[in-house]
Structure 1
Amino acid sequence: MKKMTRREWLAGTGGWALGGGAWSAVSAAAPAFPSRPITLWVPWAAGGATDISMRVLAELAGRQLGVTVITENRGGAGGTLAMPILHSAAPDGYTIAQLPYPVFRLAHTQKVLWDPVRDTTPIIQVSGVTFGLLVQAGSSFQSLEEMFAYAKARPGELSIATNGVGTTPHVVLESLFTARGLRYIHVPYKGTAEQINAIASGQVMAGVNSTGFGPAVDSGRLRLLATFAAQRSKRWPTVPTLRELGFDIVAQSPYGLAGPRGIPAPVVETLHNAFRKAMFDPVFINEIAKYDQELDYLGPADYARACREMLAQERINVERLGLAKESTGG
């Protein structure tokens, strides 16, 4: 074996040192995250409660991050249209989205190219919404039973709006009316704002939506017949829950923020820390309180676990309701 000369040894270590130095230089040259605006996709139409509160959250988080967080809307399909965006976006932290509950259901009811667990990087759980059954302020319906009676007397004439096919409100309605052997006309809308206007103007006879309807109820535009929460709302203590009315149904819809699969851990941490500070800001807390919401914080690891549990639970739910995508082999 040839003995290495000092010159050869120095050349070797010099090459290694140069390589390491070059690597360090490249690393040092890489801009710190974030170095440009971040886009937050909201899968609901502009002007609704979720859109407004997400814009408030984005502005507050942007102050923490030192860059603008731009809010973009892609409403429709029951709040699931942000998933294709995350599925195809680069995992660099510059594209994130509100992750609503319906994505965990749609994965079992339709053939889609994405998976809400496999194809996302959970960042933070923020809050959750409950739902309620609404009618126009001057509606003749004073209770859910009166609505059932109308549907029984006039089959197929009762029109009820929701925020989309396959959403939690739609699934609950199917359960309620199937249990009574009754039919209704389902009218899906892209967002809360246009649905509230449709109910208030009499375009539809009733509607089910998240508690973004709060201001419309408080102002007297709409009347609340029942809520879907486990307990009565402190805001509307005279309104019964579905459980009180004899239906073993509690419908809540937690939501959070996620990015594409594979975002580096340091970037996730940066995003999480900024949005956590933003969500605990009194400005945001007061904003979601308008919609009868409270904070429901989970960090990245716990939110990832919750997402897996929601996906598994929705498989059970859709199979129980006969909504599974049997025809597609899913």
Structure 2
Amino acid sequence: MSSTELPYVPSANVLPKVAPVRVAEGERLRSVQLPGMTLTVRSRPPAREGLPPALCVHGLGGSSQNWSALMELLDADVDCEAVDLPGFGDSPPPDDGDYSVTAHARAVIRYLDASDRGPVHLFGNSLGGAVTTRVAAVRPDLVRTLTLVSPALPEIRIQRTAVPTALLAVPGVVSLFTRFTTGWTAEQRVRGVVTLCYGDPGRVSHEGFRNAVEEMERRLQLSYFWDAMARSARGIVNAYTLGGQHGLWRQAERVLAPTLLVYGGRDQLVRFRMAQKAARTFRDSRLLTLPDAGHVAMMEYPETVAKAFRELLVEVGSDGAPPGASRVSAGGAESASTGS
């Protein structure tokens, strides 16, 4: 499989006069044409040649920008890229309109196959955590290590604060919500997202908040914005109901890659107690718990997440396998806690 890399241009689905996607200093964007989809990929030059490749996958409603802070901190450790899933960031919708977890995983696999960068150090947050778990289970040849930040893996009882997000999956709810929130400004919407996703909203800088507002203003003018949100939310709910070998927890059991699990104690979307279940399920796991973090620890505590990942790199060796042995620890978990 091959891809065609195109000069980066903002998505054709963006209405006129919409600001371009923000690119932080040192980053670049490019468009990659794949069968049935076009993906926007964000990257920054590594500090030196020959570093192992990494790929980051965002969560529901997010984009590759969610990884900018972590990517900058890791530019001396990995050659890092972050992808906008189809219908998010500046990637247009997929041709087939499929936003299931499997379809998002297929997009990641197609990109890795086409770019010939695998095996990579794979990162996923929330929905991206479910997507990358599936990728690691079905294509272990593409994954050196797996780092999951608050992965959206099935819970029997979701938190009350996660209910509104889950309701996006119900047919008709999005149209009702958009009518109800017609008068909401982009700033009000971003403030709500920050309150929901951060353990301490005060950790968001003024510049970061303004950038998020600008991005929200841009996204709200995309004709497919709410459809992508609703269909992806429905995809998560559907994935939660799958049983057998296609169930996400069953696939988590099959992951061979050394796995770093990151959970926040103030996460309002994924229950903190799921951390221990994940640590028992992923066969070669280590667990980082951040009591004061919310749902996006890589944005809220990027230095701490970067440090834990560097420790994982040292542990597994440069080739992605534990040095000196093909060790698999059955459900083992190393736990660290920090409030900073």
TM-score in terms of structure 2 length: 0.31
TM-score in terms of structure 1 length: 0.32
For the pair shown, the structure with the greater C-alpha radius of gyration is 1
Q: Which has the higher contact order (CA 8 A, sep 6+)?
A: 1
